[in-house]
Structure 1
Amino acid sequence: MNGADPGRWSAVAEGWAQLWGGFAEPAWDAVLAAAGAGRGTRVLDVGCGAGDLLVHLAGRGAAAAGIDPAPGMVAYARARLPGADIRLGTADHLPWPDAVFDLAVSVNALQFAEDTLAALAELTRVTVPGGHVAVANWAEGSRNDLTVIEDAVARADGEEPWPDGDLRLPGGLEELLHDGGLTPVAAGIAEVPWRAADDDTLVRGVLLGEEPATVAAMAPTVITAARPFRTPDGGYRLVNAFRYAVGRTTR
């Protein structure tokens, strides 16, 4: 699914929350620990999707706000967190004044901005002096079991697998923060396993957002490629990794 297409993300908001919602929690916790975020911390989640991180933050007592370009995602997040400040918009034009958050974070979203540095500048602008800006996304494909399945699907469809983007590679996120004028304070890799209870859940998760005909045609490819990750109970466990980096604002 095209990661930059708000319409397609809108259509899969509920499915995303059900199938993938909390899988990035180890990366969230690494970022929050590095930024010292806890009860009362004002956090902005840029690219908040279905509100999964916002729910997580609310459970920790943080004062969380979110923004996403997909109307369906925003509606779903608002339904989960009535009264929360969740807005429709993009990372490069954040509709908040300067210096209102202690932490601005973007998980698997900033890479879809038209201008990544301009978007990072917006995250920095809305963060208080001495506050933190954090970015996290998938690590390079070789660290992700999911890549094995996605590459098999691409080849079955007559396409070449997508190469890793710069932000997925070692040092990419740290370089981005440095170029954005931030002082890096932490960076690392978090293991983010994803589990599917059965073949149907596996196929729906991997092919989320695809047309029914495509799902039916590609299901055997997905199941075959996932065979090494099958568990004794008939489910699947895919071990993946997110890279993260946290910087401190210097203004």
Structure 2
Amino acid sequence: MDHVDEWSALADAWARWWAPAAAPAQRAILDAARVGSGTRVLDVGCGTGELVAMAVERGAVAAGCDAAEGMIDVARRRSPDADLRVAHAERLPWPDDSFDLVALVNALAFTDVAQTLVECRRVGAAVAVATWAEDDLNELTVLERVVAGEDHEPSDETREEGHLGTLLAEHGFTVETEQLAPAPMVLADADELVAAIMFGESDELRAELRPDVLAAARPFRRPDGSYLLHNAFRWALARR
């Protein structure tokens, strides 16, 4: 099973545990771009279609693409009237000037960045990019370190303040704004916490690491047994 097939197989779990985490950044982008009735929006690397659904709710003409067919299947169930296609970010299957806004949320880093931004510039008047902020602003990092162990890779400069704006400017865009979006994550109980943090891992590894994950998560446990993790996204909006 290749990487794309793996994402397809995990689409339903992704939609439940991780896709909602980006909602604050997605809403901030749509607000900043003044997305409303008739706005043409494309979400590149749309995953299970949360931003597309938000845009549709605002009356936008929404489209999305993802390389994983399973992700697109879930997105189509969510937004059956949207233009959703299996496609790669470096080869967008839409004509020039098709969109008012092209968004990439947690997607750009998985592509050929230069070619993807060329394509976004070709099809859209504006582009918005979002990614997780640096480790120090994400309490999830504490738990990710437990799961990854020695394989954990700390965040780098691509997740720090100023990077997204600089990147867009280097590729010929005029940056309008770059901001931080708080993205708290609430998990109802220990089972949900372990399921989310160990998304995609085997049942055996999940059982093995559960005690360590819960021990690390103790500072985030609330009196009712739920867990609150304070996290953040960085995002930028620019025009060509």
TM-score interval for Structure 1 and Structure 2 normalised by the shorter chain: over 0.9
Question: After superposition, what is the alpha-carbon deviation per residue over 1:48-98, rounded to whole angstroms, capped at 9, x for unaligned?
Answer: 101111111111111110000111101111122223210101111111111
Are 2:37 and 2:59, in contact at CA under 8 Å, matched by a contact in 1?
A: yes
Matches within 5 A, 1:75-224: 75-113=73-111, 115-127=112-124, 131-155=125-149, 159-224=150-215
Contact 2:194 2:206 survives alignment (8 Å): yes
User: Which consecutive residues of structure 2, in runs of 5 or more, have no partner in the other structure?
Assistant: none
Query: For residue 5 of structure 1, what is the aligned residue in structure 2?
Result: 3
Paired with 1:73 and 1:40, the residues of 2 have a C-alpha distance of: 25
Query: For the residues of structure 2 that align with 1:164 and 1:5, how far apart are their CA atoms?
Result: 22
**Quick check: 1:57–1:64 contact (8 Å CA) kept in 2?**
yes
Partner SS, residue 94 of structure 1: coil
Distance (Å, rounded) in 2 between the aligned partners of 1:5 and 1:245: 28
Q: Which amino acid aligns with 1:223?
A: L
- CA displacement at 1:121 relative to structure 2: 1.2
Q: Which amino acid aligns with 2:184?
A: P
Between 219-228 and 101-110, the greater mean CA deviation after superposition: 219-228
| CA displacement at 1:23 relative to structure 2 | 2.6
Distance (whole Å) between structure 2 residues aligned to residue 187 and residue 208 of structure 1? 30
1:144-195 CA deviation, whole Å, 9 max, x = no partner? Answer: 000011012222xxx2421213321111101110111000001010000111
Structure 1 residue 20, shift from structure 2 partner: 2.7
Aligned CA-pair RMSD? 1.3
Please tell me whether the aligned partners of residues 30 and 55 of structure 2 are also in contact (alpha carbons under 8 angstroms).
no
Q: Which amino acid aligns with 1:64?
A: A
Q: 3-state SS of the aligned residue for 1:121?
A: helix
- Separation (CA, whole Å) in 1 of partners of 2:120 and 2:66: 13
Aligned length: 239
Q: Which amino acid aligns with 2:60?
A: A
Question: Could you state the TM-score of these two structures normalised by the residue count of structure 1?
Answer: 0.91
